[in-house]
């Protein structure tokens, strides 16, 4: 079978290529700067689920619609972190060009079924989620993802067996589920089909795989709750059952996916909630655990709200679990934020603990904490002292690390009370977490 000319490829070592994206300086050209920053920090460091893009790093060797799509997403990423109007304007131009070129590729039977069309759709979706986390409609929010799902159906799941194609499928499924749960929609049937296919090529005992499976159940439960088709008793019963599944995943996680608890000196207690903090092997492990905890918090909050008797067994268990899980979320914070303690090794070489700068990688470390902290403080079961501590940490992240989204989250928590609350998924979209799911 003759390969289409647009599918030019280059050879890059599968994992060692990450070293190529560690930058000692940035070139002056804005587009080149954005592309290298995107690959160095977003692809190689932050969200490795996108590493199927490695073969397209060289713009001269990639299909034009992929090059333009990477340019658009790269400029959006750059603009997000340094607030560059020039990058924002150029990124929008690249997005329009990429959209036109991709639409042209989609009209050609010889190229429409290539993986690059799905990759381009994911990149265009990423651009929109970084630049506009609050779309005007669910239809516009789903446009690129639904288009990519249609391409997968056209090509056939049996054609996705290589690592790059499977990772693109996984990324697509994640994006679709996040859109569904954040809008109270049920999971598209295609996602279950993708998961069934992917199970043939992955370790299904991995906590993250198991967590994803439970997330699909939670998404459909949230959809039913949003539609109002469940009684209060049904909601409590289903939430209790799913929360128990998450508790089992937590308790059965193998040692290599666990974390190490550290106690601190009494005079340092203001840097932690309860005099200890936890160390994880990676940012992705931290995020995985906090996603699991977030899900438990949301389920427990629903149990507390829907229980007819606040003193019944289910409600009391939910309150106890919330207190424990909030404590665990808070214990994941100092490893990222305490520059005089467990996060000191993240500072640039030669930095002073009291006066220093932060790398973009360190900035992203703090960013992944936001959603779990908001859900914790938002919950009806969150102890007041924990809520106060969380707001203080968010204020510090905004001031010390310059994370503008932390200031947004802190402001929301300061303004709301137990009766008038902004839901976690509304805040998720508001701060653009969709684009920063590692």
Q: Spell out the domain ranges in the chain.
A: 26-193, 207-436
The pLDDT score that the predictor gives to residue 19 is: 36
The pLDDT score that the predictor gives to residue 434 is: 57
Cβ atoms < 10 Å from Cβ of 366: 25
Q: Which residues in the chain come in under a pLDDT of 50?
A: 1-24, 438
pLDDT digits (tens, 9 = 90+) for 43-98: 888 766 788 999 999 998 899 999 999 999 999 999 888 888 899 999 999 999 99
What distances in angstroms separate CA 252 from CA 206, 247, 262, 325, one per listed residue? Answer: 10, 9, 21, 16
SS (H, E, C) the chain: CCCCCCCCCCCCCCCHHHHHHCCCCCCCCHHHHHHHHHHHHHHHHHCHHHHHHHHHCCCCCCCHHHHHHHHHHHHHHHHHHHCCHHHHHHHHHHHHHHHHHHHHHHCCCCCCCCHHHHHHHHHHHHHHHHHCCCCCCHHHHHHHHHHHHHHHHHHCHHHCCCHHHHHHHHHHHHHHHHHHHHCCCCCCHHHHHHHHHHHHHCCCCCHHHHHHHHHHHHHHHHHHHHHCCCCHHHHHHHHHHHHHHHHHHHHHCCHHHCCEEEECCHHHHHHCCCCEEEECCCHHHHHHHHHHHHHHHHHHHHHHHHCCCCCCHHHHHHHHHHHHHHHHHHHCCHHHHCCCCCCHHHCCCCCECCECCCCHHHHHHHHCCHHHHHHHHHCCCCCHHHHHHHHHHHHHHHHHCCCHHHHHHHHHHHHCCCCCCCCHHHHHHHCCHHHHCC
What is d(CA 257, CA 349) in angstroms, rounded to the nearest whole number?
29
The pLDDT score that the predictor gives to residue 6 is: 37
pTM (predicted TM-score): 0.86
pLDDT digits (tens, 9 = 90+) for 279-317: 999 988 999 999 999 999 999 999 999 998 877 899 999
Cβ atoms < 10 Å from Cβ of 368: 21
The pLDDT score that the predictor gives to residue 277 is: 95
The pLDDT score that the predictor gives to residue 258 is: 86
The pLDDT score that the predictor gives to residue 252 is: 92
The pLDDT score that the predictor gives to residue 17 is: 38
Q: Are 315 and 301 in contact (CB under 8 A)?
A: no
């Amino acid at each position: 079978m003759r390969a289409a000319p647009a599918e030019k490829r280059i050879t890059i070592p599968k994992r060692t290529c990450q070293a190529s994206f560690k930058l000692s300086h940035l070139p002056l050209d804005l587009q080149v700067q954005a592309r290298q920053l995107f690959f160095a920090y977003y692809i190689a460091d932050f969200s490795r689920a996108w590493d199927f893009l490695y073969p397209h790093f060289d713009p001269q060797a990639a299909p034009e619609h992929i090059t333009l799509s990477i340019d658009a997403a790269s400029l959006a990423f750059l603009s997000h972190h340094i607030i560059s109007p020039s990058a924002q304007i150029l990124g929008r131009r690249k997005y329009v060009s990429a959209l036109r070129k991709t639409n042209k590729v989609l009209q050609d039977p010889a190229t429409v079924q290539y993986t690059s069309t799905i990759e381009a759709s994911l990149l265009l979706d990423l651009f929109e989620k970084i630049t506009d986390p609050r779309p005007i409609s669910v239809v516009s929010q789903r446009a690129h993802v639904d288009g990519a799902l249609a391409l997968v159906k056209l090509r056939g799941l049996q054609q996705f067996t290589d690592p790059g194609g499977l990772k693109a499928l996984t990324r697509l499924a994640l994006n679709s589920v996040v859109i569904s749960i954040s809008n109270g929609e049920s999971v598209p049937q295609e996602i279950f089909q993708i998961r069934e296919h992917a199970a043939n090529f992955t370790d299904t005992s991995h906590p993250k795989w198991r967590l994803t499976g439970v997330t699909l159940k939670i998404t459909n439960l949230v959809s039913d709750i949003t539609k109002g088709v469940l009684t209060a008793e049904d909601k409590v019963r289903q939430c209790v059952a799913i929360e128990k599944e998450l508790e089992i995943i937590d308790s059965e996680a193998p040692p290599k996916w666990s974390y190490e608890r550290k106690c601190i000196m009494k005079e340092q207690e203001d840097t932690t909630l309860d005099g200890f903090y936890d160390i994880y092997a990676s940012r992705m492990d931290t995020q995985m655990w906090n996603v699991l905890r977030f899900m438990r918090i949301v389920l427990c909050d629903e149990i507390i709200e829907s229980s007819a008797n606040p003193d019944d067994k289910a409600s009391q268990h939910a309150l106890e679990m919330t207190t424990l899980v909030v404590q665990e979320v808070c214990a994941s914070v100092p490893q990222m934020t305490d520059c005089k303690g467990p996060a000191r090794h993240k500072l640039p070489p030669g930095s002073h603990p009291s006066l220093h700068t932060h790398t973009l990688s360190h900035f992203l470390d703090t960013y992944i904490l936001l959603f779990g902290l908001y859900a914790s403080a938002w919950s009806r079961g969150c102890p007041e002292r924990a809520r106060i501590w969380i707001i203080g940490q968010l204020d510090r992240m905004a001031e010390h690390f310059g994370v503008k989204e932390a200031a947004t989250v802190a402001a929301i928590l300061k303004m709301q009370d137990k009766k008038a609350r902004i839901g976690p998924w509304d805040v998720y979209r508001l701060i653009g977490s969709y684009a920063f799911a590692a």
